[in-house]
């Protein structure tokens, strides 16, 4: 079998165009341009690229974007002060703090400080709680993107066995919450570094999502013939980006697979834009009350 390559770039472009249309209508009706503020602490090279891409995407969608670039020596107190200021600023609709943060800053304290109404990454405990209860305010960007890619090739996910590799707060855990929600109705198994007999579990998956950050970790022997394989991993090997899945070998076995790059990555940004618009809608309706 030779798998269908799921074109995340094209699917994300469509989603971004839909959001851009909704932004235009929103701005016409309210006079407000959605404004996403990104905070970048330090000079991490990958983060600089991500932040620039997010800014470009915002501008293309008709939104406003501001980047606060802070030095790597910024203290937690200074960062929390900036967040407090942004929380109170009526012209700021969405706030995103680019991770990872330098060692002197406790990430959780910063994410907890962002107003849940401006939390476009959906990392705040209130938003995670709402997601867990099936009444999400914002969908977490990367897992939502994975689900959209799955649904693109498999509109009927009910009863399918989805196996997730990775249990991080950013990808693995919320991915499971999205897949078991009513309407999606997958049966979910989440694996992590302590899971035993990993290949025996992954080879039962109708849908396999790899989010562990280990280059080419998922081999053909770990995949059930005909499975849908979503590769979230971003790893740099000899200056080239590769996923967590051995793409060549697995694409001979799977029915559909995402490439790296050009799979999940573009969907993450498309969902961020969607969330920034949602955040602007929430702020505007609150200010009108
Ligand atoms: P984390 O490092 O936070 O989590 C990795 C998870 O993988 C952990 O739960 C860990 O288990 C598990 N794991 C590690 N080794 C193994 C193993 N041998 N077998 C089974 N499970 C294992 O990573 P993230 O979730 O933040 O990111 C995962 C990957 O996705 C990275 O490559 C990252 O760059 C990429 N990514 C891509 C995005 C995109 O937009 N395309 C967005 C976000 C991330 P344990 O908990 O036990 O340690």
pLDDT tens for 166-221 read 999 999 999 999 999 999 999 999 999 999 999 999 999 999 999 999 999 999 99
| 259 phi, psi to nearest 5 deg | -85, 165
Domain ranges of the chain: 30-115, 141-265
Per-block mean pLDDT, blocks of 10 residues, the chain (289 long)? 94 98 98 98 94 96 98 98 98 97 98 98 98 97 98 98 98 98 98 98 98 98 98 96 97 98 97 98 90
Distance 166 CA to ligand 1 centre (A): 5
Could you tell me if the CB of 216 is within 6 A of ligand 1? no
Mind telling me the catalytic residues? 54, 98, 121
Q: What is the pLDDT of residue 289?
A: 81
pTM (global) more than 0.95: yes
Tokens at residue 122, please? 């959906």
Task: Specify the residue with its C-alpha closest to ligand 1, atom 17.
Answer: 193
How far away, in angstroms, is 280 Cα from ligand 1 center? 31
- 30-115 and 141-265 have identical folds: yes
Class of domain 30-115: alpha beta
CA–CA dist 216, 196 (Å, integer): 19
| Multiple choice CATH, 141-265, 3.40.50.2300, 3.30.300.30, 3.40.1280.10, 3.40.50.720 | 3.40.50.720
């Amino acid at each position: 079998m030779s798998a269908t390559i799921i074109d995340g770039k094209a699917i994300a472009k469509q989603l971004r165009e839909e959001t851009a249309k909704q932004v235009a209508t929103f701005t016409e009706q309210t006079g407000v341009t959605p404004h996403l503020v990104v905070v970048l602490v330090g000079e991490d090279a990958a983060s600089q690229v991500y932040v620039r891409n997010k800014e470009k995407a915002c501008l293309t969608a008709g939104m406003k974007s501001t980047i606060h670039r802070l030095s790597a020596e910024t203290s937690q107190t200074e960062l929390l002060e900036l967040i407090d200021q942004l929380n109170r600023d009526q012209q700021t609709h969405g706030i995103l703090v680019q991770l990872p943060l330098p060692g002197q800053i406790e990430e959780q304290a910063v994410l907890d400080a962002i107003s849940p109404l401006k939390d476009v990454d959906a990392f705040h405990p209130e938003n995670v709680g709402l997601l867990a209860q099936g009444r999400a305010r914002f969908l977490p960007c990367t897992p939502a993107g994975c689900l959209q890619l799955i649904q693109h090739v498999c509109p009927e996910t009910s009863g399918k066995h989805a196996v997730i590799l990775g249990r991080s707060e950013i990808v693995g855990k919320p991915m499971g919450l999205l897949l078991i929600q009513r309407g999606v109705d997958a049966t979910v198994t989440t694996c992590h570094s302590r899971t035993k007999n990993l290949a025996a579990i992954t080879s039962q998956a109708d849908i396999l999502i790899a989010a562990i950050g280990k280059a080419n970790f998922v081999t053909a022997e770990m995949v059930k013939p005909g499975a849908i394989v979503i590769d979230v991993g971003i790893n740099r090997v000899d200056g080239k980006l590769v996923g967590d899945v051995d793409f060549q070998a697995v694409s001979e076995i799977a029915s559909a697979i995402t490439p790296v790059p050009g799979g999940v990555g573009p969907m993450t940004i498309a969902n961020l834009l969607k969330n920034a618009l949602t955040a602007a809608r929430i702020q505007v309706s609150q200010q009108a009350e």
